[in-house]
């Protein structure tokens, strides 16, 4: 920290921050932009926020491997630690020169990012960071170190501690704290420790050897073997839980020669060259691929020109449509998906937003397609560089096991543009024309942004990097694996390797963690959907819009001469093919595309003329002489005679038959009369047209035509479809077939006997139910006539059971499921399970009633039964 007066050592992170100048604070906020949203009110709040777990985790995830290792070492060092101690942990007793050189940089980064504060003789890791990085049994540290002696002996009986101290050859002390301190300092003293270990039996040393690089925990039985006993006695292994022992941190560090990490990696792994080619070859290959990219996108859009595939309800392209598109483009599905996504990212296609949503070209496509090829490519390349959509995921499944479809949701990975730019920057760091090995690029990326936890090679960043390499090749950013000069120009200033190796080492803060590129709150780094961040404008990296325009212009300048020059001629051959030995000028290509079928595509295009294709051209409004002139003009070779004949033959028959619609016609053997009609102004409304000397076609319907002609003083006759004269008088107006109306009698039909008897029975039963004289219910309040009987449930049940035994009918009140009440006369047959099964006189059938729906029951008067 560069303050003028030497202030007293800060006592907290907030105080440490307070001593920092504006530039240094700005650097902090740039590196950890989450701290400014929202803007903290004061430095104390800033310090508090910088110490929150989420923010610290995020900051740690953005550290390169060496800086992270430094932080890990600090987490196992004393608090506060002197720089010397840290250096010892990182560089070991041997003081590895590379580490010694790199460490100040790493410490500076940690300090800048407010993960570390305090002077060099009192370095303190922010507490949250220390908690995150310090080893614990649940979260073993990547250092493989165990707890310190003090932590491991906490809770041990003082007597046992004194035994250990004595066994280790130290004087016994009066309290446990000083004993532990003495033990720790013994373990920390290389000379005395070596002397102690020199006495150790060989087998015991082997045990230590096994635990030294971690994990530091081991299992012991209740009665440990002699070699373990020796170690346990001297505290070289300390018990943690029954049956488990741990090697104290100090012991491990002694055995490691002071190293906190088995392999400190102060220098980023170099990106290795796989092949070196002449830069011209690389540029040409990339330009060839760039041209293919343009052709493919154009072809895709052409395929979708007259209505693209439908948008799935969940968004995206169905698997079937993708397959169809892949077939149409003659590509594999993942490739087709890449091009579709690229066109989407470049804004060339979008959903049309209609009721039945389909994908369609955007108006921008029409603008794009008119630009010079190099500009078109630059637009695609920039869209790719900046885009967060990752076509590589298509076909996979998301967390909810839904298939990820092309153009669909769930494909945004916010880390993608940063990884792309980083990979290309690494490529740009190689000499021109050099292609790197994919493994070394991946290793370098893994160093720059290490995963906390176990290393895998299928993590998102590695996959993104692999996709970047293959997509860059497809797009012509790279040619045969090496970065092309046009792409170099496109990347602009960011592409130039910056600074020496040490700077590269700390470069993650400035280089990869590009403030605009990843400058937004980010959880695990890849989960947040793209639209949460208003970054696309800045995403192409470090370049300002103006710089980007300059870079684009430079790329266009470099690329343009490498793209094949559009031709204005083709070679016509007698086998009815035309070969365009290179790309054609657009108008020429368009006409030829209609006039002939494309047989083969690539650098050149082979067209075949068929009767069908020639007819297509004629249908498109061209005449045979147009076509002859067109071919003669654009063919570098004489037009072969069979082709001339083909066009003439098709043209001769084309349009020979004419088809049109007319509503009615007028025919007359006397063409003079037809002339007269045509000349008459009153005929204008009939819209007559002469088809032949004796035939006029009209757009008016026959009746109107007849009336019209009559009004003009003619006497036309109507003609039937067969050509007979229609006699109007004969055909009166008729309805379609109709049946005669049914007679409506005065009352309902007289019922037959059966119906009558059934009706009577029903009436009687109803009558019985409502009028049956009943016995008075004892404890019931006097009931109004017609009211439902009410009895207690117990009475109801008893009465029912009695009725079953006697076989008598009873009178009940019943409330059905809809709540409507009725009265019924039933003869109970069975009472069980809360139900009464009975013959219902009212309904004349056997029914079952739930007892709880029966409001009450009354016996019928004797006289009835």
Partner 1 sequence: MNGPLIVQSDKTLLLEVDHELADACRRAIAPFAELERAPEHIHTYRLTPLGLWNARAAGHDAEQVVDALVEFSRYPVPHALLVDIAETMDRYGRLTLSKHPAHGLVLTTTDRPVLEEILRSKRVAPLVGTRIDPDTVAVHPSERGQIKQTLLKLGWPAEDLAGYVDGEAHPIELAEDGWALRPYQKQAVENFWHGGSGVVVLPCGAGKTLVGAGSMAQAKATTLILVTNTVSARQWKHELIKRTSLTEEEIGEYSGTRKEIRPVTIATYQVLTTRRKGVYPHLELFDSRDWGLIVYDEVHLLPAPVFKFTADLQARRRLGLTATLVREDGRESDVFSLIGPKRFDAPWKEIEAQGYIAPADCVEVRVNLTDAERLAYATAEAEEKYRFCATTETKRKVTEAIVRRFAGQQILVIGQYIDQLDELGEHLNAPVIKGETSNAQREKLFESFRQGEISVLVVSKVANFSIDLPEATVAIQVSGTFGSRQEEAQRLGRVLRPKADGHQAHFYSVVARDTLDQDFAAHRQRFLAEQGYAYRIMDATELLAEEA
Using CB under 8 A, which of the segments 394-402, 406-414, 453-461, 572-580 binds partner 1? 572-580
Q: Does 274 bind partner 1 (CB under 8 A)?
A: no
CB half-sphere exposure, 524, CA atoms < 13 A: 9
Q: Does 146 bind partner 1 (CB under 8 A)?
A: no
Q: Which of residues 703-742 bind partner 1 (CB under 8 A)?
A: none
Distance of alpha carbon 678 from alpha carbon 671, whole angstroms: 10
77 or 589: whose CB is closer to partner 1?
589
- Give the Cα separation of 158 and 744 in Å (integer): 115
- By beta-carbon proximity to partner 1, the closer residue of 408 and 479 is 479
**CB of residue 79 vs partner 1: minimum separation in angstroms?**
56
Kindly tell me which residue out of 95, 302, 402, 653 binds partner 1, with binding defined by CB under 8 A: 653
For residue 690, give Cα distances in angstroms to 326, 527, 732: 52, 72, 33
Contact by Cβ (8 Å): 699, 686: yes
194 counts as binding partner 1 under rule CB under 8 A: no
Q: Please report, as residue ranges, which positions from 9 to 48 form the binding site for partner 1 (by CB under 8 A).
A: none
Q: Restricting to residues 454-493, which ones interact with partner 1 according to CB under 8 A?
A: 473, 479-480
Examine residue 94 and say whether the peptide bond preceding it is cis (omega within 30 degrees of 0). Answer: no
Cβ(712)–Cβ(683) below 8 Å: yes
Contact 530, 414 (CB under 8 A): yes
Taking the least distance from each CB to partner 1, the nearer of 564 and 766 is 564
Least Å distance, CB 153 to partner 1, is 57
Q: Does 214 bind partner 1 (CB under 8 A)?
A: no
| Nearest CB to partner 1, comparing residues 609 and 814 | 609
CB of 481 to partner 1, least distance (A): 9
Residue 567: beta bridge partners?
584
**Span of 7-15, 239-247, 567-575, 624-632 interacting with partner 1 by CB under 8 A:** 567-575
Per CB under 8 A, the segment of 380-388, 430-438, 596-604, 837-845 that binds partner 1 is 596-604
Residue 651 C-beta: closest distance to partner 1, Å: 13
Single residue of 40, 140, 566, 582 touching partner 1 by CB under 8 A: 582
577 binds partner 1 (CB under 8 A): yes
Report CA 294 to chain centroid distance, whole Å: 26
User: Mask of contacts with partner 1, 301-330, x by CB under 8 A?
Assistant: -----------------------------x
**Which lies closer to partner 1 via its Cβ, residue 183 or residue 483?**
483
User: Closest separation between CB of residue 444 and partner 1, Å?
Assistant: 24
| Closer of 227 and 608 to partner 1 (Cβ) | 608
* Distance (Å, whole) CA 795 – CA 513: 86
Q: Of the two residues 275 and 703, which places its CB atom closer to partner 1 in the complex?
A: 275
| Closest separation in Å from C-beta 288 to partner 1 | 3
Cβ distance to partner 1 smaller for residue 132 or 555: 555
In a 10 Å sphere around its CB, with 0-12 CB exposed, 13-18 middle and 19+ buried, how is residue 817 labelled?
exposed
What is the closest distance, in whole angstroms, from the C-beta atom of residue 281 to partner 1 in the complex? 8
Among the listed ranges 82-90, 300-308, 601-609, 765-773, the one in contact with partner 1 (CB under 8 A) is 601-609
Closest separation in Å from C-beta 624 to partner 1: 15
Contact partners, residue 735, CB within 8 Å, separation at least 6: none
- 94-102, 213-221, 447-455, 573-581 -> range binding partner 1 (CB under 8 A): 573-581
From the list 61-69, 310-318, 526-534, 577-585, the region that binds partner 1 by CB under 8 A is 577-585
Instruction: Check binding of 571 to partner 1 (CB under 8 A).
Output: yes
Measured between alpha carbons, how far is 609 from 453 in angstroms, rounded to an integer?
64
CA distance 441 to 463: 12
Q: Which residues of 182-197 are buried (b: 16+ CB within 10 A; e: fewer)?
A: bbbebbbeeebbeebb
* Span 493-552, contacts to partner 1 by CB under 8 A: none
User: Could you give the CA distance from residue 222 to residue 243 in angstroms, rounded to a whole number?
Assistant: 7
H/E stretch holding 219:
strand 217-219
192 binds partner 1 (CB under 8 A): no
Q: In sequence order, what are the residues at sequence separation of 6 or more whose Cβ sits closer than 8 angstroms to the Cβ of residue 572?
A: 578, 631, 635, 637, 638, 639, 640, 643
Nearer of residues 521 and 582 to partner 1, judged by Cβ: 582
Let me know: does 823 contact 782? Beta carbons within 8 Å: no
Please report whether residue 285 would count as binding partner 1 according to CB under 8 A: yes
Q: Which of 576, 691, 787, 802 binds partner 1 (CB under 8 A)?
A: 576
Least distance in angstroms from the C-beta of 484 to partner 1: 11
As a whole number of angstroms, the distance between CA 212 and CA 204 comes to 12
- Compute CA distances 193 → 185, 247, 250, 397, whole Å: 9, 14, 10, 56
User: Is the dihedral angle over the CA atoms 484, 487, 489, 492 positive or is it negative?
Assistant: negative
284 binds partner 1 (CB under 8 A): yes
Length of the chain: 865
Among 315, 493, 557, 645, binds partner 1 (CB under 8 A): 645
Q: Which of these ranges, 158-166, 426-434, 524-532, 594-602, lies near partner 1 under the rule CB under 8 A? A: 594-602
Of these, 581, 593, 702, 850, which contacts partner 1 (CB under 8 A)?
581
Using the minimum distance from each CB to partner 1, give the nearer residue, 141 or 577.
Answer: 577
Specify the residue, 254 or 376, whose C-beta has the smaller distance to partner 1.
376
| Bridge partner residues of 246 (DSSP) | 217, 238
- Binders in 614-643 for partner 1, by CB under 8 A: 637, 640-642
CA triple 56-62-68, angle to 5 deg = 80
Q: By C-alpha distance, which of 688, 836, 648, 865 is closest to 774?
A: 865
The maximal CA–CA distance of the chain, rounded, in angstroms, is 143
Tokens of 624: 């045979």
Position 603 contacts partner 1 (CB under 8 A): yes
351, 359 contact by CB (below 8 A): yes
Question: CB–CB of 457/464 below 8 Å?
Answer: no
Q: In degrees rounded to 5, what are phi and psi of residue 496?
A: -75, 130
Give me the helix-helix angle, 333-345 and 373-386, nearest 10°: 100
**Is 655 an interacting residue with respect to partner 1 (CB under 8 A)?**
no
Instruction: Single out the residue of 18, 229, 498, 601 in contact with partner 1 (rule: CB under 8 A).
Output: 601
Torsion, Cα of 531, 536, 538, 539 (10° steps): 100
Please state the closest distance from residue 421 (CB atom) to partner 1, in A.
23
Please state, in angstroms and rounded to a whole number, the distance separating the CA atoms of residues 678 and 683.
7
Compare residues 179 and 435 and give the one whose CB is closer to partner 1. Answer: 435
* Least spacing, CB of residue 278 vs partner 1, in Å: 12
Q: How remote is the C-alpha of 565 from its chain's centroid?
A: 39
Question: Which residues are near partner 1 by CB under 8 A?
Answer: 284-285, 287-289, 291-292, 330, 473, 479-480, 564, 571, 573-577, 579, 581-582, 600-604, 606, 637, 640-642, 645, 649, 653
């Amino acid at each position: 920290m560069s303050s003028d007066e030497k202030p007293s050592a800060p006592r907290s992170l907030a105080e440490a921050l307070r001593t920092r100048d504006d530039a240094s604070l700005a650097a902090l906020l740039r590196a950890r932009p989450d701290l400014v949203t929202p803007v903290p009110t004061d430095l104390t709040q800033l310090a508090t926020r910088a110490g929150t777990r989420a923010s610290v985790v995020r900051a740690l995830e953005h550290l390169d491997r060496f800086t992270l290792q430094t932080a890990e070492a600090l987490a196992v060092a004393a608090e506060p630690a002197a720089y010397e101690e840290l250096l010892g942990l990182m560089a070991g007793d041997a003081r590895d020169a590379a580490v010694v050189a790199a460490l100040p940089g790493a410490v500076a980064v940690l300090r800048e990012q407010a993960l570390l504060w305090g002077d060099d003789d009192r370095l303190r890791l922010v507490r949250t960071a220390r908690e995150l990085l310090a080893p614990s049994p649940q979260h073993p540290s990547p250092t493989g170190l165990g707890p310190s002696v003090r932590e491991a002996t906490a809770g041990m009986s003082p007597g046992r501690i004194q035994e250990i101290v004595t066994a280790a050859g130290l004087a016994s002390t009066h309290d446990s704290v000083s004993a532990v301190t003495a033990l720790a300092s013994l373990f920390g003293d290389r000379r005395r420790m070596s002397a102690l270990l020199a006495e150790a039996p060989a087998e015991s040393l082997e045990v230590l050897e096994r635990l030294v690089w971690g994990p530091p925990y081991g299992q012991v039985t209740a009665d440990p073997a002699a070699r373990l006993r020796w170690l346990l006695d001297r505290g070289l292994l300390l018990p943690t839980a029954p049956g488990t022992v741990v090697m104290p941190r100090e012991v491990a560090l002694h055995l490691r020669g002071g190293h906190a990490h088995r392999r400190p990696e102060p220098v980023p792994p170099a990106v290795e060259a796989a092949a070196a080619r002449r830069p011209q070859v690389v540029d040409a290959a990339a330009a060839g691929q760039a041209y293919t990219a343009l052709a493919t996108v154009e072809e895709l859009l052409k395929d979708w020109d007259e209505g693209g595939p439908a948008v799935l309800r969940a968004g995206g392209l169905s698997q079937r449509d993708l397959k169809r598109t892949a077939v149409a483009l003659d590509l594999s599905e993942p490739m087709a998906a890449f091009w579709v996504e690229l066109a989407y990212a470049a804004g060339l296609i979008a959903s049309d937003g209609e009721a039945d949503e389909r994908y369609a070209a955007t108006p921008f496509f029409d603008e794009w397609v008119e630009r010079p090829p190099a500009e078109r490519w630059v637009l695609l390349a920039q869209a790719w560089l900046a885009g967060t959509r990752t076509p590589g995921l298509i076909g996979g499944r998301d967390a909810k096991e839904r298939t990820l479809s092309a153009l669909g949701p769930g494909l945004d990975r916010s880390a993608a543009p940063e990884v792309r730019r980083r990979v290309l920057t690494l490529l740009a760091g190689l000499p021109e024309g050099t292609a790197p090995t994919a493994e070394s690029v991946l290793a370098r990326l893994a160093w720059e942004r290490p995963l906390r936890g176990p290393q895998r090679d299928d993590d998102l960043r590695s996959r993104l990097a692999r996709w970047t390499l293959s997509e860059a090749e497809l797009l012509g950013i790279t040619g045969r694996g090496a970065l092309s000069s046009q792409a170099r120009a496109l990347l602009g200033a960011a592409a130039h390797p910056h600074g020496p190796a040490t700077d590269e080492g700390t470069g993650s803060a400035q280089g990869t963690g590009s403030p605009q590129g990843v400058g937004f709150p980010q959880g695990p780094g890849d989960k947040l959907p793209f639209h949460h961040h208003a970054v696309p404008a800045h995403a192409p990296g470090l370049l300002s819009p103006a710089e980007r325009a300059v870079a684009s212009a430079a790329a266009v300048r470099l690329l343009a001469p490498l793209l094949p020059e559009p031709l204005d001629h083709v070679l016509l051959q007698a086998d009815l093919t035309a070969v365009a030995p290179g790309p054609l000028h657009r108008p020429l290509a368009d006409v030829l595309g209609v006039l002939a079928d494309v047989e083969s595509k690539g650098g050149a295009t082979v067209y075949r003329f068929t009767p069908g294709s020639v007819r297509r051209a004629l249908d498109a409004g061209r005449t045979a002489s147009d076509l002859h002139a067109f071919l003669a003009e654009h063919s570098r070779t004489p037009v072969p005679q069979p082709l001339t004949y083909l066009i003439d033959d098709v043209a001769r028959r084309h349009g020979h038959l004419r088809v049109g619609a007319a509503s009615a016609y007028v025919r007359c053997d006397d063409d003079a009369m037809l002339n007269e009609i045509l000349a008459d102004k009153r005929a204008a409304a009939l819209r007559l047209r002469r088809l032949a000397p004796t035939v006029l076609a009209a757009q008016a319907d026959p009746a109107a035509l007849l009336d019209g002609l009559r009004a003009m003083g003619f006497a036309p006759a109507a003609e039937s479809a067969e050509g007979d004269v229609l006699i109007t008088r004969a055909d009166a107006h008729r309805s379609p077939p109709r049946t005669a109306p049914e007679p409506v009698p005065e009352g309902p039909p007289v019922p037959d006997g059966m119906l009558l008897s059934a009706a009577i029975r029903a009436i009687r039963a109803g009558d019985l139910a409502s009028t049956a004289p009943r016995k008075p219910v004892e404890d019931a309040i006097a009931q109004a006539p017609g009211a439902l009987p009410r009895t207690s449930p117990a009475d109801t049940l008893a009465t029912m059971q009695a009725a079953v035994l006697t076989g008598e009918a009873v009178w009940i009140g019943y409330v059905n499921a809809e709540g409507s009440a009725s009265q019924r006369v039933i003869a109970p047959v069975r009472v069980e399970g809360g139900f009464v099964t009975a013959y219902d006189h009212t309904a004349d059938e056997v029914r079952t009633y739930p007892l709880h729906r029966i409001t009450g029951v009354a016996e019928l008067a004797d006289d009835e039964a």
